[in-house]
Amino acid sequence: MRADVTVCGLGYVGLALAQQMSTSGMVVIGYDVDPVVTAELAAGRSHIDDVLDDDLTAMSIAGFTVSSDPAALGASDAVVICVPTPLDAEGAPDLGAVRSAAAAVGARLRPGMLVVLESTSFPGTTDEVVRPILEQTSGLTAGVDFHLAFSPERIDPGNRVRTMAKTPKVVGGYTPGCRTRAIELYGRFVEKVVRARGTREAEMAKLLENTYRHVNIALVNEMAIFCHRFGIDIWDVVDCAATKPFGFEPFRPGPGVGGHCIPVDPHYLAFKARSVGLESTLIDAAERINAGMPAYVVQRCADLLRTHGGELAGAHVLLLGVTYKPNIRDVRMSPAYDVVRDLRARGARVSYHDPFTPRFTVDGEPVPATADLTAALRAADLSLLLQDHTAHQPEVLTAHARLLFDARGVLAHAGDPHVEVL
């Protein structure tokens, strides 16, 4: 079967991309190395928040097919690579999936094809990692025999307003001709395409976007620590500062950062900086602050218990929300993992309530889940609000929790003596 485009990697980025392309009238093939993923999708069952089962049905009607056969990578005139780029055990970039995908695409590359990398990585990845693999495997030359480009993903899980079609798409090509070909592809389903000078500029733009968030979150987290020590309400401080109509963008503190971008992308930039002898001083400082927030939250919980005559060791702590964002089921790199580890290390008994996450396992050990929020609040020695899901109604929390630590500022102005806020 011939198609307009093949999407390589059907995770949070790839499947959402395939859905938007399909909705726009394109015939799309979805390829993933995991046969379980493709089997579930073929059966009409989605594994991500932004693509519903009904969406898969509509996509299928429009011609969308899925496959774990690498031959699918040669069945279109364009291939978009959307594979994971995690960190390895030492915190360095792991481009194993990108290299494997590039080799698989290269083995099926034909003259005139377009290959686009969307996986986030350090500047130079498209040219220095992907291009040589494609050329060596295929015997073709980028910019002459085939087109090569980079376009950073801008997926915001759970955002129903800023959809992919309404979010400007940055595109950088290996050559101007490559960029033009890629712009033609994205222009079919995105309202605005932004031309980057080249692939490195497009790659760097993605890292700047998320490093900006990482650093500013670290700043407000450090402000929260300062304000607590000085007896100042950080939430009121942020609300007041946010009224300034210029020169200030409000960020709010929390128990740490999570998800597929902010905890990872700055590491790619820092890695690239070190490779040329530069120090990423600000990025490294932001990482230390944000990575330390789970332990800070646990210490505040211990202090709250001690104030009321209790101890963390042996206490039953209920976590409210374990995902990294509100009202989604995505737990990738959620700060809840480190919170659980620290609580367990200090002898606490941990359970959780999260209507979006039926199972939550930390270091191979499941965290007990409870469906009855009211009963769970009453049973716990201390409840810890880690994520502000709409299911966690403030009036329910304050009415039934024995002690409550709010790490998200939902109850910032409640004035309740048994509630403490970050």
CA angle 102, 207, 30 (to 5 degrees): 35
CA quadruple 70, 146, 20, 262: dihedral, nearest 10:
90
Integer Cα distance of 351 and 53 in angstroms? 30
pLDDT score, position 412: 83
Q: How far apart are CA 101 and CA 82, in angstroms?
A: 9
d(CA 268, CA 100): 19
Distance between CA atoms of 116 and 126, rounded to whole angstroms?
9
Both tokens of 362, joined, read 């930390």
Q: Tell me, yes or no, if 8 is annotated catalytic.
A: no
Q: Which amino acid is at 398?
A: T
Q: 189 CB contacts (<8 Å, ≥6 apart)?
A: 20, 21, 23, 24, 26, 164, 165
Q: pLDDT tens-digit profile of 331-375?
A: 999 999 999 999 999 999 999 999 999 999 999 999 999 999 999
Q: Which of 82, 227, 261, 301 is catalytic?
A: 261
**Number of other residues whose CB lies within 10 A of the CB of residue 273:** 16
The model's pLDDT over 223-257, given as tens digits with 9 standing for 90+, comes to 999 999 999 999 999 999 999 999 999 999 999 99
User: Distance of alpha carbon 60 from its chain centroid, rounded?
Assistant: 27
Using an 8 Å Cβ cutoff, are 262 and 268 in contact?
no
Looking up tokens 């990025």, which residue turns up? Answer: 283
Helix (H) or strand (E) holding 16: helix 14-23
- pLDDT (0 to 100) of residue 65: 95
State the DSSP H helix or E strand holding residue 66, giving kind and residue range, or none if neither: strand 65-67
Dihedrals φ, ψ of 408, to 5°? Answer: -120, 0
User: Tell me, what's the pLDDT at 413?
Assistant: 72
Residue ranges for the chain with pLDDT beneath 70: 1, 414-415
pTM for the model: 0.91
Per cent of the chain over pLDDT 70 is 99
Vertex 287: Cα angle to 286 and 289 (nearest 5): 65
